Structure 1
Amino acid sequence: MGSTVKNQNVVNSFGEDNTYAFVEETVKKHGLGTALYGQMKVEREKWRKEMINIAVIGQARQGKSSLINAQIGQKLAEVRATGVCTTNIRSFPHPKNPNIELWDVPGIDAVNFSREGYFEKIGYYDNEYDFFLIVTKDIFSSDAKFIADEIQKLNKRFYLIRTHIDDTILKQLEDSSDKTIDESDIVAEVRQNIKAELQSFNFDTSKFKIYLVNNRNVFEYDFPQLMEDICKECVCDLQQEALLLTIGGNCYGCQMVELKYKLLKKRVVKASLASAAGGVIPIPGFSILVDITLLVEEILTYFEGFGLSKSSIESLEDLNNVRKGTIEKALKRKLKEEKNGLLHIIREGAPKSLSNWISIRRAAVSIAGSSSRMILSKLALLATSSAIETTFQWVLPVIGSAASAGLSFAVTFYQLSYFLTQMKDIAMFANSFLSKSLSQRSTSFLQTSEDNDSTEDIIASIKDE
């Protein structure tokens, strides 16, 4: 029954987000064959070339470095000791996509970076920052208001970020004589104080959010909302795709997983169109080579995009001071219990295991090593699936009379949609597991030898939700 429901969900997804109209328009524009195949390859890789510069502005010791690390997902920016001042602009290219750079930019001061000519001094006209993160660990000064006003004149977007909210809450709870005060009261008070201070500078706080964050736990307070808003408010679809698949590859909550899932569903259609194009190119063996290459490339992209690769998981554990292997162990336990094929990728690493896993029911190796006649018979067997058959019937009138193209589209669409849904579910679990783990940090269970039972408890609590 569960398999039938999943199959139907895959079929239903073909009619979502104007997919049918997109397929029809694309085929009319490029036809079938090499032109369509080449265009779909370009469309799927465009995001990797998108240049994005993000300025993180603030004085020294305001939490800029830890914020940069939290967004990159690795400890790249040195968290400086007390007394060290930020006087130089430092660039941090994302290790997985150097076209996206975060810049540590000094705030306004009386010596090196005065208001006069500030944007020239911070290299705005050289680097052309796409948007700005204005950071403080206390309240926003009149200088922050000046910077925000100037950014608006440049028609750029900015985000007001108040770091160290966790330290503020802890201190106030310890110092307060009022034992009825709780965390939500302190958060509301801090937010109101910041608004009042900005309003005293004639800053319209009704138009802009104030994000209260804990850089040591990206699941708490406003951090997930900050990352979601940054991605949603991109100036173009290509910029959003680049951010979601690069910076958004880390865990920032289930809403970000949903955003990535919707984005990646569009890639499924483009990859399926490339498969359809390969199905009519009259070169022996070309179609199956295209299909296997597409499956490998796309699945690796989805895997990295959801932050499920071994390197991504290890970086996440290191950034959050979680014992190495904790998240991977939890994922393996869940996948083994569900008898999920993704277990092979989590266990062995994506590049090593994909050749043994990419096809439905682990058929890729036998397909790749078969003759053309055997390949066609196996594809025909896959096409008897109700989900593939229905997709084939829907797409054939659009693609035309080339049955091989229609079958290639349907099989690729089904396989990638199925795998994408599986990865989304695992990413949701990984987010929930890490979030609950960090929330229990006070018990230090991740640092003890008793983590097995605690991990089981967290997994059980996620199942009960």
Structure 2
Amino acid sequence: ACLSDACSPNFRERVPVLELPGLTEISRIQAPVVFLISCFELGKYDFNLLQERLEKELPQHKKHVLMLAIPNITLEINVRKKEALEKSIPRVALLSAGVATIPIPGLSALVDVNIIKKEVERYYSVFGLDDPSLQMLCERSGKTIEELKNVMKSPMHFGINSTALISWLGAAALYATESAVEYVCSLVPVLGTMVAGGMSYLTTSKMLKKALNELAEDAKNVLIASLETEV
């Protein structure tokens, strides 16, 4: 049941669940499972219980999708989102390693930057740190975007681009080394492929873990700031 009329002057917060419109027929079902949810305040009522119920009943791959789609409204959800995103890092790094096996000097480093950029953009969206998500949070909390962005340490909230990304993650030296190693190893095809792939995998994994840790911390700080009230 979704409380879509919560802003109505006639809204009664403590109305018994089975008195809500549309639940008369549901009440006749043996042992009905009913969750009370506010569309305006997801953190209240039974939203967490509904989430837990869905996770128990959904297949594993759908649980992952559900966790990433749920709004970042509690610290617990923030932690679980981070865990879900962390599980996908090896898969992304493996893609990077695959590109590194192509014997074209400099190609792997270029592709790695774009792979990481795309993943960081995804992290921003999942954690609700992109501007549209922050604007919605501002409308619910009464805060301004500036107030929320002030607690974010990542410089990427001003705009995600490859140059700023490399500087933020301290990846310039790693990519320079990676390109040099790839060039040298390209002279020895089989060994070069193995070394280049392994190095690309490790570089991408390290950068993504660093980005994920920092953005998860930013998301936590934004959530806490949105819940603070002026004394």
Per the normalisation by structure 2, the TM-score is: 0.74
Q: In the alignment, does 2:139 pair up with 1:322?
A: no
Q: In the alignment, does 2:78 pair up with 1:266?
A: no
Contact residue 3 and residue 36 of structure 2 kept, 8 A: no
Q: In the alignment, does 2:30 pair up with 1:203?
A: yes
Q: SS where residue 225 of structure 1 aligns?
A: helix
| Pairing 1:52-131 to 2, within 5 Å after superposition | 63-64=3-4
Q: In the alignment, does 2:62 pair up with 1:239?
A: yes
Structure 2, unmatched stretches of 5+, are 11-16, 183-191
User: How many residue pairs get matched?
Assistant: 216
Q: SS where residue 416 of structure 1 aligns?
A: helix
CA change 1:358–1:218 in 2 (3 A) is farther
CA distance in 1, matches of 2:164, 2:82: 24
1:87-126 residue CA offsets vs partner (Å, 9 max, x unmatched) = xxxxxxxxxxxxxxxxxxxxxxxxxxxxxxxxxxxxxxxx
Q: In the alignment, does 2:124 pair up with 1:355?
A: no
- Structure 1 residue 420 displacement after superposition: 0.8
Correspondence for 1:215: 39
Contact residue 275 and residue 409 of structure 1 kept, 8 A: yes
- Structure 1 residue 225 displacement after superposition: 3.5
Correspondence for 1:309: 130
Contact residue 276 and residue 409 of structure 1 kept, 8 A: yes
Correspondence for 1:143: 25
- Structure 1 residue 354 displacement after superposition: 4.8
Q: Which amino acid aligns with 2:211?
A: F
Q: In the alignment, does 2:225 pair up with 1:225?
A: no
Correspondence for 1:286: 107
CA change 1:226–1:266 in 2 (3 A) is same
- Structure 1 residue 287 displacement after superposition: 0.8
- Structure 1 residue 358 displacement after superposition: 3.7
Q: In the alignment, does 2:198 pair up with 1:406?
A: yes
CA distance in 1, matches of 2:219, 2:64: 18
Q: SS where residue 402 of structure 1 aligns?
A: helix
Q: SS where residue 211 of structure 1 aligns?
A: coil
Contact residue 78 and residue 216 of structure 2 kept, 8 A: yes
Contact residue 228 and residue 255 of structure 1 kept, 8 A: no
- Structure 1 residue 402 displacement after superposition: 0.7
Q: In the alignment, does 2:62 pair up with 1:251?
A: no
Runs of 4+ in 1 over 6 A off after TM superposition: 79-82
Q: SS where residue 25 of structure 2 aligns?
A: helix
Q: Which amino acid aligns with 2:144?
A: K
CA distance in 2, matches of 1:284, 1:65: 61
Correspondence for 2:185: none
Q: Which amino acid aligns with 1:223?
A: F
Contact residue 228 and residue 256 of structure 1 kept, 8 A: no
Query: Looking at both structures, which has the greater relative contact order when contacts are Cα pairs under 8 Å and sequence separation is at least 6?
Result: 2
Q: SS where residue 218 of structure 1 aligns?
A: coil
CA distance in 2, matches of 1:137, 1:309: 39
Q: In the alignment, does 2:172 pair up with 1:345?
A: no
1:384-414 residue CA offsets vs partner (Å, 9 max, x unmatched) = xxxxxxxxxxxxxxxx971111111111111
Percent identity of equivalent pairs: 20
Per the normalisation by structure 1, the TM-score is: 0.40
Q: Which amino acid aligns with 1:287?
A: S
Higher alpha-carbon Rg: 1
More strand by share: 1
Structure 1, unmatched stretches of 5+, are 1-57, 67-78, 83-134, 145-197, 380-399, 446-453, 455-465
CA change 1:224–1:245 in 2 (3 A) is same
RMSD value, Cα: 3.6
Q: SS where residue 44 of structure 2 aligns?
A: coil
CA distance in 1, matches of 2:193, 2:109: 20
Contact residue 288 and residue 375 of structure 1 kept, 8 A: yes
- Structure 1 residue 257 displacement after superposition: 1.6
- Structure 1 residue 324 displacement after superposition: 2.9
Contact residue 257 and residue 306 of structure 1 kept, 8 A: yes
Q: SS where residue 304 of structure 1 aligns?
A: helix
Contact residue 244 and residue 305 of structure 1 kept, 8 A: no
CA change 1:80–1:294 in 2 (3 A) is same
Q: Which amino acid aligns with 1:243?
A: L
CA change 1:285–1:241 in 2 (3 A) is same
Contact residue 241 and residue 263 of structure 1 kept, 8 A: yes
1:69-103 residue CA offsets vs partner (Å, 9 max, x unmatched) = xxxxxxxxxx8999xxxxxxxxxxxxxxxxxxxxx
CA distance in 1, matches of 2:122, 2:131: 14
